[in-house]
Structure 1
Amino acid sequence: MKKIFFTSAIAASVLFSSIAVAQSVETLRGAGVAEPVAVEDVFQQDEGRFTRNYRQQPPLIPHSVDQYQVDLKANRCLSCHDWTNAGERNAPTLSMTHYQDREGNQLDTVAGTRWFCNQCHVPQADAPALVENTFEPSN
């Protein structure tokens, strides 16, 4: 009987202490979860292309890709940049390395290892550095 009472007392104290802690937690953004928070448009896409900072750097994307679908079923990037469409869309063609499998065999379609463009390519933005650094581009 004492063991059950003791166990119940511990469970009750843990429950009440967790409720007290949960009530004192505040969000980092200063608003409730369901409240919309206005965000300023700080960074704008640049019209011109940025130069690459090091050899073999993947090219930056000079346009917005916010609404692009890139998943297992679809890749919106290929509607302009695939070799079959690039000429009529006046877009840069993918490198031939994107059409090679792991063994180096040429494929007619983009290799699965290169399907998710945003693994390597990111939209260019003239954004301030997140941390101080002394990086200088290579010559």
Structure 2
Amino acid sequence: MKHPVLTALSSLALSALVAGAALAQSATDVRSLRGTDIDQANAVDDIHKQIEGRMPRNYRQQPPLVPHSIDQYQMDLRTNQCLSCHDWTVAGERGAPTLSMTHYLDREGNQLDTVAGTRWFCNQCHVPQANAPALVDNIFKPSSTSN
């Protein structure tokens, strides 16, 4: 008795899968947030310029934005070019801000002499400053102005 029920459920699941695939292929009007086709590269307009100087933070503990281009920076498992200026051993002589001490703590809170592996990929939190239009409306207000 269980065998016919399993066969019916399998056939129903297969029918739903085929119908879903057909529907997905017919959906040709899928677009990115910038309004282009999803498989089309987004062109960067001239108005998207790097902002010089440091921008103020909007909330406490916000990771600082990067005030310079990082287009040519190598960042992989072995190399992190950000550290050539921002590591505590060279920041003073390079005139760059030193990383926060939290970047030198492991998961157990032990202090390290090198950047912790959990903080190795800087662009997880830090992004370049750019004058680019917002993809979606934003009503965020900095914490110092909200009541």
**TM-score normalised per structure 2:** 0.68
- Structure showing greater Rg: 1
Q: Which residue of 2 aligns with 1:128?
A: 133
Output the amino acid matched with 1:79: S
Q: Which residue of 2 aligns with 1:64?
A: 69
Output the amino acid matched with 1:86: A
Output the amino acid matched with 1:47: E
Distance in structure 2 (CA, Å) of the matches to 1:68 and 1:137: 31
Query: In the TM superposition, what is the alpha-carbon distance from 1:40 to its structure 2 partner?
Result: 2.9
1:135–1:106 Cα change, 3 Å: same
Secondary structure of the corresponding residue to residue 97 of structure 1 = helix
Q: Does 1:49 align with 2:54?
A: yes
Distance in structure 1 (CA, Å) of the matches to 2:133 and 2:42: 22
Alpha-carbon RMSD: 2.6
Q: How does 1:77-116 map to 2 (within 5 A)?
A: 77-116=82-121
- Kindly report structure 1 stretches of 4+ aligned residues shifted beyond 2 Å: 36-42
1:64–1:107 Cα change, 3 Å: same
Distance in structure 1 (CA, Å) of the matches to 2:45 and 2:105: 42
Aligned identity (percent) is: 74
Which of 48, 59, 75 is 2:80 aligned to? Answer: 75
The unaligned stretches of length 5 or more in structure 2 are 1-24
Residue-by-residue CA offset, 1:99-125 (whole Å, 9 max, x unaligned): 010111110100000000000000011
Residue-by-residue CA offset, 1:58-92 (whole Å, 9 max, x unaligned): 00000000111111010000000000110110000
Output the amino acid matched with 2:90: N
Distance in structure 1 (CA, Å) of the matches to 2:63 and 2:126: 6
Distance in structure 2 (CA, Å) of the matches to 1:106 and 1:88: 23
Distance in structure 2 (CA, Å) of the matches to 1:85 and 1:44: 29
Distance in structure 2 (CA, Å) of the matches to 1:110 and 1:55: 22
Secondary structure of the corresponding residue to residue 92 of structure 2 = helix
